[in-house]
Structure 1
Amino acid sequence: MSPSAVPAAHGSTWNTIAPDEAGFDEARLAEAVAFAQAHDSPWPKSLFYPDGRYVGNVEWNESGPWSEIVGPVRGRGGPAGLVLKGGRIVAEWGDTARTDMTFSIAKSYLSVLAGLAVQDGLIADLDEPVGKSVPGPFFESARNAPITWRHLLQQSSEWQGEIFGKSDQVDHNRQIGPGADNSRKGQKRELNAPGSFYEYNDVRVNLLGYCLLQRFRRPLPDVLRARIMEPIGASSDWEWQGYETSFVEIDGQRMQSVPGGGHWGGGLFIGARDHARFGLLMAQGGAWGGRSLLSADWIAQMVAPSPTLSNYGFLWWLNRGPSAKAGVPASAYWALGAGTNVILVDPENDLVAVLRWIDGASFDPFLGKLYGAMA
């Protein structure tokens, strides 16, 4: 991708490209967009059901001692998104500037922050036990002492404990995706050796965020803003909110640790256009306007299949294995948040797509229509 394809800073005009010039059939691309617009997420706009239950608690069949909402929640907008080809907008719909909650897409932002920590030498070795560089009680037990940074990034740590009032047990037996059965979610199970078992566990991801905060010794939103979002020309509207229980003191300063999603409120509040810039940075191998912001080597590691789940890298989903999307290159990958919110990165086709609030069952059909529109 040429440097000229990098969009100017937020507030300036983002270059567009006609569908036929970008290699799309105009009518079929319009059909894909109309499909996304017509298939809104089933979640209530307030993110609370009429009986007062938070969507996350309903989505994940969660109740009991760890289900309290401890971070801010804001109502959502409607379906929105955009498609970039060569860094230029080929399609856009809905309110792409609205700073909505984005749920587990925040995990993929944490992965990028981990890459910056590696570049800065704050993480010397991904296979080193985290407890060697992160003080405190979280890795002192025999159970947790062997856990490495790689384990946390691949969601295979099997860490046991409580952080910010949430126990790892809350996500035991959790399933995600189509056909997920969460009837046993939260029921305590026997833990496996670190690195041997994959489990999607928000408490352990929140632990990773805390550990990165301990290494950077400054709030992660500040690091992200200075190192990534400002250089790529993102807006100033996005926020990354933590919990009322997640304040810590570092070097005499009170800071808030931020979570990897909106499971209990909080998380990343951001617009689709800012997501698109972030995805474009990934598609360009971490470079922006001739300047390397994130190591291309880190991105390669980030999207390598995990030994415990072939379609998962470092907090990014990969187009691999039985769940691979038909017609989408194996090299494509995406950030995914409940609701459904997606940043699709396809370096092979120089393509980035952002989806906000599409019905989860409509994600695969949308991709079929999008890729079917490419000549």
Structure 2
Amino acid sequence: MRSPLRTLVPLALWLLCLPALAQDYVPSRDAWSHASPSEAGFDPARLAAAVDWARANGEQAPADLRDALMASFGPREPDYRILGPVGTRGPANGMILRGGRIVAEWGDTARPEMTFSVAKSTLSVVAGLAYDDGLLPEPDQRVSMQVSGPWFEGAHNGAITWTHLLHQTSDWSGALWDIHDWADRPDGDDPANRVLHAPGTHYKYNDVRVNLLALALLELQREPAPQVFKRRVMDPIGASSTWRWEGYENSWITLDGLRMQSVSGGGHFGGGMVINTRDLARLGLLMQRDGEWNGQRLLSSDWIARALVPSRVKSDYGYLWWLNTGRTAIPAAPERAFWAAGFGGNHVYIDREHDLVIVTRWTPDLAGVVTRVLEALEQP
């Protein structure tokens, strides 16, 4: 087995070779330093070609995302309907950071837009805050031990743990916000009468169950996820005031005498995270820096390490983050690279080995972008 020390020493020596890109640099709320491609260790012509490729391979049609959702999910999901706000998308845009500084930027990176399932990864961060606070002491505990209500009752649903929800392996059965679990990306000819899988044994990408995780966290933290996320993460990293995180018209509950909305873990049925590229890049930089920002610990290393352990059922998926296990998804990238991904080509790619954060909006082929960016590196 390769020694971890042998792996870390070359990386540490390489990092010391980048004096222009001090590793502790973080952007202020009002200013963000740039580095030229050559200063950041890139071949300028190759990096420009990578950006041109990302822009050229972006998708903008249909601009009205309601039309995109109806075309994608309407024909194959029973009684499909949009329950939350839906916006429009602009042309492809994105950012590349190295050493925390902006090396490349294209399109309108200040325009807040829907991110779809990138919201799942932000929900993982919110779960991590609950873990750090001791509210979620052990992810392998059954959710029913801490969350009351009808959602986790019975032999099947009662066996579901936080880890099952975070890995999307719960196979939770029921309806939430008037949407049945089986109606989301249905399987087979009779999905309503499907065979149940024991929790933890079967992976299924399913927004209804991720929305259930959001509701469970709301019950646990007694505070809406956007408020927790803003106070604990977005404000400290200097994010703008233009982002928002929404649920559905019917995802409201009364908790402690207050009316609160449970958010959506994606935009499949509308709602979800609406945010600009620059704010996503800040979040990516926080994750790349292992939860620290300007000397302040915002999210524990323990949680991040847990979040990046592959599920036993799906080796390229952790706690709502995509993994490059076996370098299968992006062969050119390191195995430890990870990313958030959402419908339509929304991505936040994090690569600690190369000190990179790449955000793409409306460019579906993340591997194509990352491969070209890595090929542009003169100092790998």
TM-score norm. by structure 1 comes to 0.92
Sequence identity percentage = 49
Tell me the SS of whatever aligns to 1:224: helix
Which AA in structure 2 matches 1:135?
S
Tell me, yes or no, if structure 1 residue 135 matches structure 2 residue 140. no
Q: Distance in 2 between matches of 1:265 and 1:348?
A: 36
Tell me, yes or no, if structure 1 residue 25 matches structure 2 residue 38. no
Corresponding residue for residue 177 of structure 1: none
Superposition deviation, residue 42 in structure 1: 5.4
Tell me, yes or no, if structure 1 residue 277 matches structure 2 residue 282. yes
Superposition deviation, residue 48 in structure 1: 3.6
Q: Distance in 2 between matches of 1:64 and 1:23?
A: 47
Q: Distance in 1 between matches of 2:114 and 2:97?
A: 22
Tell me the SS of whatever aligns to 2:123: helix
Which AA in structure 2 matches 1:76?
R
- Report 1:1-375 matches (<5 A): 2=22, 4-9=24-29, 12-41=30-59, 43-49=61-67, 55-60=68-73, 62-63=75-76, 65-171=78-184, 173=186, 188-321=193-326, 323-358=328-363, 360=364, 362-375=365-378
Q: Distance in 2 between matches of 1:185 and 1:312?
A: 28
Verify the 8 A CA contact 1:82 1:91 in the aligned structure 2. Answer: yes
Tell me the SS of whatever aligns to 2:249: coil
What's the CA shift string for 1:230-288, capped at 9, x where partnerless? 00000010000110010000000000000101001100000000000000000000000
Q: Distance in 2 between matches of 1:188 and 1:24?
A: 55
Which AA in structure 1 matches 2:47?
L
Superposition deviation, residue 166 in structure 1: 0.9
Which AA in structure 2 matches 1:264?
F
Tell me the SS of whatever aligns to 1:227: helix
Which AA in structure 1 matches 2:250?
T
CA RMSD of superposed structures (Å):
1.7
Superposition deviation, residue 364 in structure 1: 2.2
Verify the 8 A CA contact 2:284 2:349 in the aligned structure 1. Answer: yes
Q: Distance in 1 between matches of 2:191 and 2:45?
A: 47
Alignment CA distance shift 1:245-1:185 (3 Å): farther
Which AA in structure 2 matches 1:242?
G
Superposition deviation, residue 323 in structure 1: 3.2
Verify the 8 A CA contact 2:66 2:86 in the aligned structure 1. Answer: no
Verify the 8 A CA contact 1:172 1:188 in the aligned structure 2. Answer: no
What's the CA shift string for 1:173-215, capped at 9, x where partnerless? 56xxxxxxxx869565212100011000110000000000111
Alignment CA distance shift 1:258-1:66 (3 Å): farther
Alignment CA distance shift 1:300-1:187 (3 Å): same
Corresponding residue for residue 11 of structure 2: none
Verify the 8 A CA contact 1:82 1:89 in the aligned structure 2. Answer: yes
Which AA in structure 1 matches 2:28?
A
Tell me the SS of whatever aligns to 1:268: strand
Superposition deviation, residue 68 in structure 1: 1.2
Verify the 8 A CA contact 1:85 1:351 in the aligned structure 2. Answer: yes
Which AA in structure 2 matches 1:15?
S
Superposition deviation, residue 129 in structure 1: 0.6
Where in structure 2 are there 5+ consecutive unaligned residues? 1-14, 16-21
Verify the 8 A CA contact 1:101 1:268 in the aligned structure 2. Answer: yes
What's the CA shift string for 1:319-363, capped at 9, x where partnerless? 1147331210001000000001000000111100000011x2x33
Alignment CA distance shift 1:243-1:89 (3 Å): same
Verify the 8 A CA contact 1:61 1:185 in the aligned structure 2. Answer: no
Which AA in structure 1 matches 2:234?
M
Alignment CA distance shift 1:340-1:243 (3 Å): same
Verify the 8 A CA contact 2:77 2:185 in the aligned structure 1. Answer: no
Which AA in structure 2 matches 1:133?
Q
Verify the 8 A CA contact 1:164 1:246 in the aligned structure 2. Answer: yes
Verify the 8 A CA contact 1:305 1:311 in the aligned structure 2. Answer: yes
Alignment CA distance shift 1:339-1:185 (3 Å): farther
Tell me the SS of whatever aligns to 1:294: coil
Verify the 8 A CA contact 1:171 1:186 in the aligned structure 2. Answer: no
Verify the 8 A CA contact 1:103 1:338 in the aligned structure 2. Answer: yes
- Which piece of structure 1 moves more, 38-47 or 112-121? 38-47
TM-score norm. by structure 2 comes to 0.91
Q: Distance in 1 between matches of 2:58 and 2:329?
A: 23
Tell me the SS of whatever aligns to 2:245: strand
Which AA in structure 1 matches 2:83?
V
Q: Distance in 1 between matches of 2:190 and 2:39?
A: 49
Q: Distance in 1 between matches of 2:66 and 2:150?
A: 35
